[in-house]
């Protein structure tokens, strides 16, 4: 029952430019897999124009598991 939460900043092309672990699972292996999952998902589809600035500065929050 591990859970983690990560904030991911995405540029206008959909590439991850920054990751911040908001809530660690407390398990180093699980948290490493969270980082790997985000890294392997990049690039995401380019965000719509109205969200580009927001996603590059504030990011999107991902919960693991979802």
Condensed to tens digits (0 to 9), the pLDDT of residues 45-58 reads: 999 999 999 999 99
pLDDT of residue 39: 96
The residue to which tokens 């965000």 are assigned: 47
Q: Strand 60-64's sheet: what is its strand order? A: 16-23, 4-10, 60-64
User: Can you tell me whether residue 44 is helix, strand or coil?
Assistant: coil
Q: Which residues pair with 16 in a beta bridge?
A: 10
pLDDT (tens digit, 9 = 90+) per residue, 6-45?
999 999 999 999 999 999 999 999 999 999 999 999 999 9
Is 66's pLDDT higher than 90? no
pTM of the model: 0.88
């Amino acid at each position: 029952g591990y859970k983690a939460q990560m904030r991911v900043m995405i540029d206008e092309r959909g590439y991850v430019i920054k990751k911040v672990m908001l809530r660690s699972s407390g398990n180093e292996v699980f948290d490493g897999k969270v980082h790997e999952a985000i890294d392997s998902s990049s690039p995401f589809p380019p965000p719509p124009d109205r969200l580009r600035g927001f996603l590059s500065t504030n990011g999107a929050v991902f919960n693991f598991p979802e």
